[in-house]
Structure 1
Amino acid sequence: MQLILISPPQDVPNEAGLAIELLDQGLSRFHVRKPAWSRAEVAAYLDSIPAHYHPQLVLHSHYSLATELGLGGVHLTAARRHQGTRPTLRPGQTLSTSFHTLAEIREHRRHYNYVFLSPIFDSLSKSDYPAAFALAEITATLGQLRHRAGYAPQVLALGGVDAARLPAVQQAGFVGAAVLGAVWQSPDPVAAFRELQSIIG
Structure 2
Amino acid sequence: MGRVVSGGIRVPRLTCLVSDRDDLTLLTAMADVGVDGFQVRAKKLSGRLLTALAERVVAAVRPAGATVVVNDRLDVALAAGADGVHLGASDLAVAAARRIAPGLVIGSTCRSRADVVAAARDGADYAGIGPVFATASKDGLPDPLGPDAIAPAVGVLPLVAIGGIDAGRVGEVLAAGAHGVAVIGGIWRHPDPVAAAEEIVSQIGG
Q: What TM-score does the superposition give when structure 2 sets the normalisation length? A: 0.78
**Identical-residue share of aligned pairs (%):** 28
Pairing 1:35–2:46 present:
no
What secondary structure is seen at the aligned counterpart in 2 of 1:187? coil
Return the match for 1:56 from 35, 43, 67: 67
Asked if structure 2 preserves the Cα contact closer than 8 Å seen for 1:124 and 1:182, the reply is no
How far is 1:128 from its partner?
A: 7.1
The equivalent residue for 1:173 is 177
User: Secondary structure of 1:197's match?
Assistant: helix
- Aligned-CA RMSD value: 2.7
Q: 1:105 to 1:83 in 2, by over 3 A?
A: closer
Task: Say if 2:27 is the partner of 1:19.
Answer: yes
Determine the C-alpha separation between the residues in 2 that align with 1:127 and 1:39.
21
Residue matched to 1:186: 190
**In structure 1, what is the Cα distance between the partners aligned to 2:68 and 2:139?**
27
Q: What does residue range 1-201 of structure 1 map to in structure 2 within 5 Å?
A: 2-8=13-19, 11-12=21-22, 15-49=23-57, 50=59, 53=62, 56-81=67-92, 85-86=96-97, 88-89=100-101, 91=103, 93-110=104-121, 111-126=123-138, 132-142=144-154, 146=155, 152-201=156-205
| Contiguous gaps of at least 5 residues in structure 2 | 2-12
TM-score, normalised via structure 1 length: 0.80
Cα shift readout 1:117-144 (whole Å, capped 9, x = no counterpart)? 11111225258757533534532442xx
How has the CA–CA distance of structure 1 residues 63 and 133 changed in structure 2, closer, same or farther, with 3 Å as cutoff? closer
Contact in 2 for aligned 1:123/1:130 (Cα 8 Å): no
Cα shift readout 1:72-113 (whole Å, capped 9, x = no counterpart): 11111321146974262252x201121123331233334210
Deviation at 1:11, TM superposition (A): 1.5
Distance 1:161 1:83, change over 3 A: closer
Range with bigger deviation, 73-82 or 28-37: 73-82
| Larger radius of gyration between Structure 1 and Structure 2 | 1
